[in-house]
Amino acid sequence: MCPIPYPIWTIELTSIGKKSLRDRIPKRGGFYYNNELYLSPAYLALPIGSRNLLHMLINELRWRKGKGSKVYTNNGEVSFTEVDFKELFGSASQTYINARNKLIEVGFIKQTYRGGMGAGDRSKYKILCISNLRGNEMRWLNYPERNWKHEIPRSRRQLIGVGTQFKKGKSSRKC
């Protein structure tokens, strides 16, 4: 009889039920951060949450072989949801929002579509720190001198409760 290499009770039953996000991310994928990117003031200004989000957005890129280099087929349509970020890293919603805003501010990503109009409507981003981009698209190279805070998406106007809010100069008491 052949001995079992590990105890049976340590086997996780991941095949039963829904797989977690960690199981769906390919183990063999990756991205090469060159020294220009890794030692840039823009990358060094990122907190750990922003670095995690940047890596996960880059992980969503799909590519095919081109002439001598990779050609990214879905740059501009990349998304990684807040729910997935919270599940993967165990963080709060505000951490995701702060991370996304910082990535936009320093010039690593650009929002191409604003989602949130219904179920399944995701925001989409273009990643600006990969190869095969023109020099003027790599915003992060100009970060200390310029930033892109004005492109951070702001919340839409509040329309709920506008009619029942307190008006300026009026008392809340009934006369």
Q: Return the pLDDT at 6.
A: 47
**Percentage of the chain exceeding pLDDT 90:** 26
Within a domain: 140: yes
Q: Return the pLDDT at 14.
A: 44
Within a domain: 78: yes
Stretch among 2-6, 20-24, 131-135, 162-166 having the lowest mean pLDDT: 2-6
Within a domain: 34: no
For the chain, give the DSSP string.
Answer: -PPPSS-GGG---TTSSPPPHHHHS-SS------HHHHTSHHHHT--HHHHHHHHHHHHT--EEE-SSSEEESSTTSB---HHHHHHHH---HHHHHHHHHHHHHHTSEEEEE---SSTT---EEEE-SSSS--GGG-GGGGTTT---GGGSPPPPPP-TTTTTSPPTT--SS--
| pLDDT classification of 11: cutoffs 50, 70, 90 | very low
| Winning range, highest mean pLDDT, from 13-27, 68-82, 87-101 | 87-101
The number of folded domains in the chain is: 1
Q: What gap in Å lies between CA 173 and CA 87, rounded to an integer? A: 47
Within a domain: 108: yes
| Winning range, highest mean pLDDT, from 29-43, 61-75, 152-166 | 29-43
Q: Return the pLDDT at 163.
A: 72
